Amino acid sequence: MAGLRSWLFCLTVIAGSLFGAKAEIKFTTPVGRLFTYELLRETFQNDFEPLTKLYGPVGHLYDDPMTFKCNEQGFPDLPEWLRFIQRHPLDNGFLYGTPTSLGKNIIEIYAVNKRSYDTTRQILVIKAVPEKMLPYQAEFFIQKREVERVLPPSVQNEIKQDLQYLWSTQDLEIVNITNALDRGGRVPLPLAGHYEGVYVKVGSETFFSKCLESVWTTVHQKQCAAGSKGKAPEGCHFCRIPSNCITWCKTELFNLAKQKPEPPAPTVGSGVLEAGGDFNPPESPPSRDFFPDYMVTVIVPLVLAIVLCLLLAYIMFGRREGVDGENAFCSIQLYHHHTVHENAEELRSMAANRGVPPPLSTLPMFNSRTGERASPLHSDSIPLIMAQQ
Ligand SMILES: *[C@@H]1O[C@H](CO)[C@@H](O)[C@H](O)[C@H]1NC(C)=O
């Protein structure tokens, strides 16, 4: 029984390694040259296929939307030099970038089928091998392109051919392709004729052509500083496809041959320190008087605060204005109280005796202070309130 189990285990390991070996794709790419790998949805569709062959309608070809997730094995993300782009689940994805150091990168690619939510995995092994650095490099900006439209090899070739004419040499290699958005570019308006823009860097062993050298002339620099997009110099217009045309003012030349003077070799010493005198500890610094600082930072604000407190207290409690006014107000209240009281008394006496004349306050021309009243006959004014019978 145990023997059978170990046999089975061995078989699965062998099958697994065989299967794993089949799913591993190997690439060798030179350092300092552009690497591109297109994640074809078709091939991943084939990986999903066995299931659909078994259970799906016979002969039906699926074209499922897919998304990809790529990372370096054992890491959450891709290596620094490698970038991934897929615009839409119905587009192919691209891995691209320029390796900067030697070594092997193992990339895991997970594809998620957005119809069935199946996943499949591919392993990509990218081995960067040494390559001579190209001493003359130039970067061009292609305004009317998006990076995933430039990455297919056919388009890369078109662009390279134009640049070969411009450089007047066949010896030209694409070094880097970058989305302008990764270089501080803006997201374009979602309108026709607006693109993100792409930077293409090429390198060569041959020195720059006359056309390229015109970038260094003052005329060109003045034109560009004035804000124009820059026109191709006479006889240097080499783009056959309008969307591949470069923006002259964003062209930059790098002469890496000139920039690198050999650093002087470090002089190697004996490895033993020279004999010196005894160690002299530094003198302790002179003592400082902190009293003035203390005065300024603690005492002065404290005194100020106390003074302000006292001032506020004096204003709030000591100097109360309007005591007389308050008294006057009280006397008015008293007076009101008295009149109300008197009127109530009067009403009460009236209620006791119905034969009395109507209340004074209901008569016209009534002087509330003196109680004196003008005869209604001698007055030409009309009583404000009709006396009740
Ligand atoms: C390629 O371009 C990207 C973005 O500008 C940059 O980060 C990277 O260092 C470049 N690689 C090389 C080898 O020039």
Q: Are 84 and 95 a contacting pair, CB within 8 Å?
A: yes
Query: Model confidence over 100-126: pLDDT tens digits?
Result: 999 999 999 999 999 889 999 999 999
Q: Check if 297 has its Cβ closer than 6 Å to any atom of ligand 1.
A: no
Q: Is the dihedral of CA 367, 371, 374, 377 positive or negative?
A: positive
Site to probe by mutation for ligand 1, drawn from 178, 202, 254 as the one with most ligand atoms within 8 Å of Cβ, is 178
Separation of CA 137 and ligand 1 centre (Å)? 13
Percent of the chain residues past pLDDT 70, beyond the cut: 78
Separation of CA 192 and ligand 1 centre (Å)? 29
Q: Check if 98 has its Cβ closer than 6 Å to any atom of ligand 1.
A: yes
Q: Check if 182 has its Cβ closer than 6 Å to any atom of ligand 1.
A: yes
User: Within a 13 Å sphere around the CA of 75, how many CA atoms are in the beta-carbon half?
Assistant: 10
Separation of CA 139 and ligand 1 centre (Å)? 11
- Residue 76, both tokens: 């959450």
User: Within a 13 Å sphere around the CA of 373, how many CA atoms are in the beta-carbon half?
Assistant: 16
Which pLDDT score is estimated for 135? 92
Q: Check if 179 has its Cβ closer than 6 Å to any atom of ligand 1.
A: no
Separation of CA 232 and ligand 1 centre (Å)? 26
Mean pLDDT across the chain, nearest whole number?
83
Q: Are 169 and 204 a contacting pair, CB within 8 Å?
A: yes
Which of 24-33, 196-205, 226-235 has the least mean pLDDT? 226-235
Domains delineated in the chain: 20-129 (2.60.40.10), 136-259 (no CATH)
pLDDT band at 59 (very low <50, low <70, confident <90, very high): low
Bridge partners (DSSP) listed for residue 3: none
Pick from 190, 172, 51: nearest CA to 115: 51
What is the pTM assigned to this prediction?
Answer: 0.61
Q: Are 95 and 37 a contacting pair, CB within 8 Å?
A: yes
Percent of the chain residues past pLDDT 90, beyond the cut: 49
Q: Check if 100 has its Cβ closer than 6 Å to any atom of ligand 1.
A: yes
Cα 120 from Cα 48, distance rounded (Å): 7
Closest protein CA for atom 4 of ligand 1 = 178
Q: Check if 176 has its Cβ closer than 6 Å to any atom of ligand 1.
A: yes
Closest protein CA for atom 11 of ligand 1 = 98
Separation of CA 254 and ligand 1 centre (Å)? 14
Q: At 358, which helix (H) or strand (E)?
A: none
Separation of CA 205 and ligand 1 centre (Å)? 20
Query: Model confidence over 271-323: pLDDT tens digits?
Result: 887 777 788 888 888 888 999 999 999 999 999 999 999 999 998 887 766 55
> What DSSP line would sit under 94-162, residue for residue?
EEEE---S-EEEEEEEEEEETTT--EEEEEEEEEEE--PPPSEEEEEEETT--HHHH-SHHHHHHHHHH
Q: Give the pairing of strands 103-113 and 66-72.
A: antiparallel
